[in-house]
Amino acid sequence: MQYFEDIEVGTTANFGNYAVTREEVIEFASRFDPQPFHLDDAAAAATHFGRLSASGWHTCAMTMRMMVDNMKTRAQAGLGSPGLDELRWKKPVFPGDTLRVETELLEKTRSRSRPEMGSFRSAVRVYNQHDELVMSMTSIGLIATRNAVAD
């Protein structure tokens, strides 16, 4: 199990291989972001997107899936997240794209009021199959400490 004490600032990771499908783009948009350029080819063609594109929120959801799958491979003692900062959708994501994630651990802080946990901030960058940056954010994670007393 990986605890707060085990994570190191500067650590990078590359993971994920998420194939974006037309059906999933339309299904997600129908339920959560029903704007015409996420649902209809003709409507999308008339926009700056030029064709059907995934919702930015769908891109976040696909990224989250890849991040959780990656966490499972490391058996991290994760405790959720209080949020994220600096979310940016840099380029549209289209059906047929394949996404991957790169992360870099920026900082970690042991909680003074809750010694059984700490937090960490990571730069998260999402790329398509052409290595074009499609989304970036700074994620904040909570993680259990191995020892409730600071080292």
Over residues 22-51, the mean pLDDT reads: 97
d(CA 94, CA 6): 37
Over residues 6-35, the mean pLDDT reads: 97
CB atoms within 10 A of CB 81: 13
pLDDT of residue 150 exceeding 80: no
The token pair that represents 121 in the structure block? 């901030």
pTM: 0.92
CATH classification for the domain delimited by 4-144, as one of 3.20.20.140, 3.10.129.10, 3.30.420.300, 3.40.50.300: 3.10.129.10
Strands 98-110 and 117-127: antiparallel
Give every CB contact of residue 2 below 8 A, 6+ residues apart in sequence: 74, 75, 76, 77, 143
- DSSP result, 14-46: EEEEEE--HHHHHHHHHHH---HHHH-HHHHHT
Residue-range domain boundaries for the chain: 4-144
Over residues 7-29, the mean pLDDT reads: 97
Where do we find the tokens 């700056």? 48
pLDDT of residue 75 exceeding 90: no
